[in-house]
Structure 1
Amino acid sequence: MNTPTRDEINKIMDIRFSEDIHNKLKSAKVGIAGLGGLGSNIAAMLARSGVGNLHIVDFDKVDLSNLNRQNYYIDHLGMYKTQAAAKILKSINPYLNITYETTKIDENNASDIFKDIDIICEAFDNAENKAMLINSLLTTYKDKKIVSGSGMAGYGSSNLIKTTKKMKNLYICGDGVSDINEGMGLMSPRVSICAGHQANMVIRLILGENEV
């Protein structure tokens, strides 16, 4: 099958959402910090929703343990997650403007990596790294919005996962409690539900909806 033209894809998006909504989504710039279970799924959801500019960042490679919940496949094993995710996203929308950095985010580079981004999804596994990114960005920038994930382990009730506005520019998605421990790992359904909350909050922010 021939690759659809840009105009064909835009026309479908305009029909699906309305031209005004699609234009806002197309012009938005969203960053994703971490491309594991949350980030890889968030990126795919945003690409399918018409968000036009994604900046994705991770330092890790795809391994077999990732396939139970992350948006990768056997063919991607051994690839850097940034490269694998970019390939997948381009297969969803070949006209997506996607940039990536294969690097580890820390307190020294976080603010520079996302300096040109309006909304950032925090999608790390580690609580300390989550806090580092949030603190670095909120301290440096007054207007950037952060959508973070916290609490999605196991197979507890889907209804416990929710989106909460913690402060003016910080939104937290998850149940806020469940974490990885012995006998309680990360499973695709709850991770995907939390990723969906994050992606939906990003879309709401793009469209001017600042409440959850």
Structure 2
Amino acid sequence: MHLTKEELHAALVERHGADIQQKLDHASVGIAGLGGLGSNIAVHLARLGVGRLVLVDFDTVEISNLNRQHYTMKDIGIPKTLALLEQLEAINPYLQYEPHTERIVPANAARLFAGCDVVCEAFDRADQKAMLIETLLERLPDTPIVSGSGMAGCGSANLMRTERRFGRLYVCGDGTSDIADGIGLMAPRVAVCAAQQATMVLRLLLGHTEP
């Protein structure tokens, strides 16, 4: 079934309300890393009808990604930006998607996410998380950042939360569980953290600054 832009938008307005949907229509969100966190965050935001999504990742889909990331076997070997773009366009083809297949470094981070109302940090490695957060806090001084920290293993989801730090940095997760400790990443907890990040993004876009 093919829906027109007007039909799909009307369905979103019916579910979300006209005032909320208008804010989402004009919103712009950046997602740094399209793995277990980023791919799921992007799907949530596309379903909300967020008007512009900036999608950045340098990697391709691998077999090891399939246990928690929003990809399928047919995506193996394809750049994550392109595989995810196909999924998002199947959900809502009328949004503005900006895929960038490149590695994020201090020299390009501000350029990639300029104009975003919120940026989601969705990297795996702690050093990369720190690099992006430090860079964006310095170079995009008015942009909130929503980060994920602590989603490994099979501990209770009740331990996961959203905290506000440094004024405009929000951190989601349990804050402690780490694959460096030999704990694996599993779909449910990764998805919970991604949903927490997407929820905080939604709240920020609607003007709510507290977790």
Q: What is the TM-score normalised by the length of structure 1?
A: 0.98
**Aligned AA for 1:168?**
G
1:99 aligns with 2:98: yes
Distance 2:191 2:149 in 1: 13
Task: Specify the alignment match of 1:186 in structure 2.
Answer: 185
1:167 aligns with 2:166: yes
Distance 2:93 2:159 in 1: 36
**Offset from partner CA, 1:50-103 (integer Å, 9 cap, x none):** 211100000000011100000000111110000001110000001011011000
Distance 1:99 1:195 in 2: 20
**Aligned AA for 1:174?**
G
Distance 2:181 2:144 in 1: 34
Distance 2:115 2:99 in 1: 13
Distance 2:33 2:204 in 1: 20
> What secondary structure is seen at the aligned counterpart in 2 of 1:68?
coil
Q: What is the TM-score normalised by the length of structure 2?
A: 0.98
**Aligned AA for 2:176?**
V
Task: Specify the alignment match of 1:59 in structure 2.
Answer: 58
**Offset from partner CA, 1:95-146 (integer Å, 9 cap, x none):** 0110110000011111111112120000000001001001101111221010
> What secondary structure is seen at the aligned counterpart in 2 of 1:193?
helix
Computed over aligned residues only, the root mean square deviation of the Cα atoms, in angstroms, reads 0.9
1:145 to 1:182, Cα distance in 2 relative to 1, 3 A: closer
Distance 2:30 2:12 in 1: 21
Task: Specify the alignment match of 2:23 in structure 1.
Answer: 24
Displacement after TM superposition at 1:167 (Å): 2.0
Task: Specify the alignment match of 1:135 in structure 2.
Answer: 134
Distance 1:54 1:183 in 2: 33
Unmatched segments (≥5 aa) in structure 1:
none
**Aligned AA for 1:39?**
G
Unmatched segments (≥5 aa) in structure 2:
none
Distance 1:64 1:141 in 2: 35
Higher mean C-alpha deviation, range 121-130 or range 105-114? 105-114
Task: Specify the alignment match of 2:4 in structure 1.
Answer: 5
Displacement after TM superposition at 1:24 (Å): 0.3
Displacement after TM superposition at 1:189 (Å): 0.3
Task: Specify the alignment match of 1:83 in structure 2.
Answer: 82
Distance 1:85 1:161 in 2: 26
Task: Specify the alignment match of 1:41 in structure 2.
Answer: 40
1:201 aligns with 2:195: no
Runs of 4+ in 1 over 2 A off after TM superposition: none
Task: Specify the alignment match of 2:175 in structure 1.
Answer: 176
